[in-house]
Amino acid sequence: MNNTITDLTIMLAGEAGAGVQSTEAILTSAMKKAGYNVFATKEYMSRVRGGTNSTTIRISENRICNQWGAPDIFIPFDLAAYTRYKPELLEKSIVIADTKIVKASNIFHLGFNDTSLSIGNIIYASMVVAGSIAGLTGVDLEVLKSYIAKQFETKDKKIIADNIKAAEVGYEEGKKIAEQAGLKIEIKNNDYVKDDILVSGSESIALGALAGGCDAVFSYPMTPGTGVFTTLANWAKKAGVVVEQVEDEIGVINMAIGAWYAGARAIVSTSGGGFALMTEGLSLSGMTETPVVIHLAQRPGPATGLPTRTEQGDLNLALYAGHGVFARAIFAPGNLEQGYELTKYAFDVADKYQSPVIVLTDQYFTDSYYNTPGFKIYSPPEKYIVEAKEEYKRYDLKEGSLSPRSVPGFGVGRVCVDSDEHDESGRITEELNGIVLKMKNKRFGKFALLKDIALVPDLYGSDDYEILFVCWGSALTTALEAVKKIGDKVSLLHFKQVYPIAQTALNYFQKAKKIVMIENNQAYQFKNLIEHELGIKIPSTILKYNGLQFISDELYRKMKEVI
């Protein structure tokens, strides 16, 4: 066997709490510091300990932001992990494990348990494994060592020394295994990587929120929405953000609306079930014209479903949640930069259009991470709030759909907001053919306003395509690598805004000879939406809905089949 690898995929798997996560953290950070492009994605069970989880790390000389294919190297921490993921391996994949635990053939032995115990503690096992991968890939050992020194600088010297020792032993073992396996890994490192940031989808959303002037986050924990909440909580003191965990999601959305009413820019982060509970509140935002920003991280439903898995199955709910008629905007970032930019933008759209805005992600998006150039830093966002004069009317019709918005305490005027149908000054009315109709038309006008500013989808690939693959949200990076491989006359159209749909998007569809929709749900919800909004037919779909994200080569094969 002799294969030179320039783009490496490693899978680590084991029980929750057994070290997979710490190995991943060490590896990705160290590799990034060493100038390698890294990407990592995880899938895990809905439990705190036990079960079988895995994380997949890709290391490359080029920028990467997704998984291409099956792992080159698979490191199961226990037999269950081996058994669960074995079927996904390729013939050429090599398996490294502690063969005392994983008793199977064709496995390269790495005695990380004994080794770490001999160093003094089983917790060093992660470091042994990390070291071995450094050894396998030929990463400079010094880089790893200085990373360890930095990482544990506040700790006891002995702890640093033991960690380094574990890494060294692992490193040597790794080199040996590479030799035995005839594995040649030659990944070039790049200086630019060191200046990159290494952040997850959740972090990109949280950073985008800060950039958007978010100064309050209200939530009730729910996987995978919790990541954004935790991240913001972590930065809150420094950034001056109010953080409150509320008793339930109904409280969450109402508290956020209350905060916006009083002039704060608030976000809530949740998942399908929690969002379902916010449905009435969404309608309150629509009626009172109080902005609100919602991060909805999808997981497979219905009901509790698969709490830690991924799906794009809540699009319909995001589109139609809330009784009665009112406008909204929905963004669906496809990569970290979009996570940042669109979340920032969501705050401006919400504030300016006085409407609910949803940032729609999923477990795959929130949990995955890779190195990417630092996000652009903008000046503080524009404030759309006006001072209330004595005769201020919250729903003044003079400026059409967008009445100047004041907040209580800003000026002498009264800011009166009502969830019943109301007149210009915010008082209940039943003037059915008078002010009621005017208010209904005023709010309805926002559909058009939001459509006017709808972001045009991005075309990836040549303008001169015959086949057009279409996807939305988190599918972007996976689909893009696959489409690139397919070749000429094939392009990818990605929607980072899924509602309203920009009318000009139609042009892209009209030019295509064949259109294929890619979605991570069973009911092709986006296809339905696009078909109706643009009045077209999309005859072909590639769907996945087992709770996992597409992998590029899997998608590549499916693409080949349909074209």
Task: Say whether the peptide bond before residue 408 is cis (omega within 30 degrees of 0).
Answer: no
Bridge partners (DSSP) listed for residue 12 = 55, 75
Question: Exposed/middle/buried for 95, CB within 10 Å: 0-12, 13-18, 19+?
Answer: buried
Residue written as token pair 């020394």: 161
**Per-residue interface string for the shown chain with another protein, residues 278-307, x marking contact by CB under 8 A:** --xx--x---x--------------xx--x
| Residue 298 near residue 363 (C-beta atoms within 8 A) | yes
Kindly identify the residues of this chain, within the stretch 284-313, that bind a second copy according to CB under 8 A.
284, 286-288, 300-307, 309, 311, 313
Which of 76, 111, 274, 547 contacts ligand TPP by CB under 6 A? Answer: 274
Q: How far is the CB of 221 from ligand TPP (least distance, A)?
A: 4
Four-residue CA torsion sign, 543, 548, 552, 556: negative
Q: Which does 117 bind (CB under 5 to 8 A by kind): a second copy, ligand SF4, another protein, none?
A: none
Binding pattern for the stretch 351-380 against another protein, x by CB under 8 A and - elsewhere:
-----------------------xx-xxxx
Name the residue nearer to a second copy (CB basis): 76 or 307: 307
Complete DSSP assignment for 226-269: HHHHHHHHHHHHHHT-EEEE-SSHHHHHHHHHHHHHTT--EEEE
Q: List the single partner that 272 binds among another protein, ligand TPP, a second copy, none, CB under 5 to 8 Å by kind.
A: a second copy
Contact present, 450 and 355 (Cβ < 8 Å) = yes
Judged by CB under 8 A, the residue of 205, 257, 454, 480 near another protein is: 257
Any contact of residue 248 with another protein (CB under 8 A)?
Answer: yes
Closest approach of a second copy to the CB of residue 154, in Å: 38
* One of 106, 433, 463, 561 touching a second copy (CB under 8 A): 433
Give every CB contact of residue 312 below 8 A, 6+ residues apart in sequence. 298, 362, 472, 473, 474, 475, 519, 520, 521, 525, 526
CA distances from 267 to 205, 241, 246, 473 (A): 10, 11, 13, 19
Using the contact rule CB under 8 A, the part of the chain among 29-37, 346-354, 398-406, 415-423 near a second copy is 415-423
Cα angle at 486 between 481 and 492, to 5 degrees?
Answer: 60
432 belongs to the binding site for ligand SF4 (CB under 6 A): no
Burial of 525 (0-12, 13-18, 19+ CB in 10 A): buried
The CA distance from 248 to 269, in Å, is 12
Stretch touching a second copy by CB under 8 A, among 61-69, 215-223, 267-275, 471-479: 267-275
Among ligand SF4, another protein, a second copy, none, the one that 236 touches (CB under a kind-dependent 5 to 8 A) is another protein
By CB under 6 A, name the one of 50, 221, 487, 539 that touches ligand TPP: 221
CB 48 within 8 A of CB 76: no
**Cβ count within 10 A of residue 103:** 11
DSSP string of 141-158, one letter each residue:
HHHHHHHHHHHTTTS-HH
435 to 474: interface string for a second copy, x by CB under 8 A: -xx--x--xx--x---------------------------
Which of 78, 172, 421, 458 contacts a second copy by CB under 8 A? 421
**Could you give the dihedral angle defined by the CA atoms of residues 333, 337, 342 and 343, in that order, rounded to the nearest 10 degrees?**
100
Which residues, 6 or more positions from 138, have their beta carbon under 8 angstroms from its beta carbon?
Answer: 178, 185, 186, 187
Per-residue x/- track, 449-488, ligand SF4 (CB under 6 A): ----------------------------------------
DSSP-assigned beta bridge partners for residue 519: 543
Nearest to 165 by CA among 98, 120, 100: 120
Distance CA(295)–CA(39), nearest Å, equals 23
The neighbouring-strand residues paired with 254 are: none
Tell me whether residue 17 or residue 213 sits nearer to ligand SF4 (CB atom): 17
Q: Which does 122 bind (CB under 5 to 8 A by kind): ligand SF4, another protein, ligand TPP, none?
A: none
The listed partner (another protein, ligand TPP, a second copy, none) that binds 528, CB under 5 to 8 Å by sort, is a second copy
Q: Which does 220 bind (CB under 5 to 8 A by kind): ligand TPP, ligand SF4, a second copy, none?
A: ligand TPP
Residue 188 is a binding residue for another protein (CB under 8 A): no
Asked if 25 touches another protein (CB under 8 A), the answer is no
Is residue 264 at the binding interface for another protein, with CB under 8 A as the rule? yes
Closest separation between CB of residue 225 and ligand TPP, Å?
9
Q: Is 500 in the site for ligand TPP (CB under 6 A)?
A: no
Residues 29, 37: Cα–Cα separation, whole Å: 10
Nearer to ligand TPP, 12 or 358 (CB): 358
User: Quick check: 48 binds ligand SF4 (CB under 6 A)?
Assistant: yes
Q: SS3 of 419, please? A: coil
Phi-psi group of 426: left, alpha or beta (phi > 0 → left; psi -120 to 50 → alpha; rest → beta): left
For residue 393, report the phi and psi dihedrals to the nearest 5 degrees.
-125, 120
Beta strand 490-495 with 514-519 is: unpaired
Interacting span for a second copy (CB under 8 A) from 108-116, 273-281, 470-478, 496-504: 273-281
Which partner in a second copy, another protein, ligand SF4, none is near 414 (CB below 5 to 8 A by kind)? another protein
Please identify, using beta-carbon distances, which residue of 173 and 362 lies nearer to ligand TPP.
362
Q: What is the largest CA-CA distance in the chain?
A: 84
In the bound state with ligand TPP, the residue whose beta carbon lies nearer, of 308 and 474, is: 308
- The binder of 48, among a second copy, ligand TPP, ligand SF4, none, by C-beta within 5 to 8 A per type, is ligand SF4
261 is a site residue for another protein (CB under 8 A): yes
> Of residues 99, 146, 528, 540, which one binds a second copy by CB under 8 A?
528
**Taking CB within 5 to 8 Å according to partner kind, which of another protein, a second copy, ligand TPP, none is near residue 523?**
a second copy
383 binds another protein (CB under 8 A): yes
* Interface ranges with ligand SF4 (CB under 6 A): 48-49
* Interface ranges with ligand TPP (CB under 6 A): 220-222, 249, 273-274, 277, 304
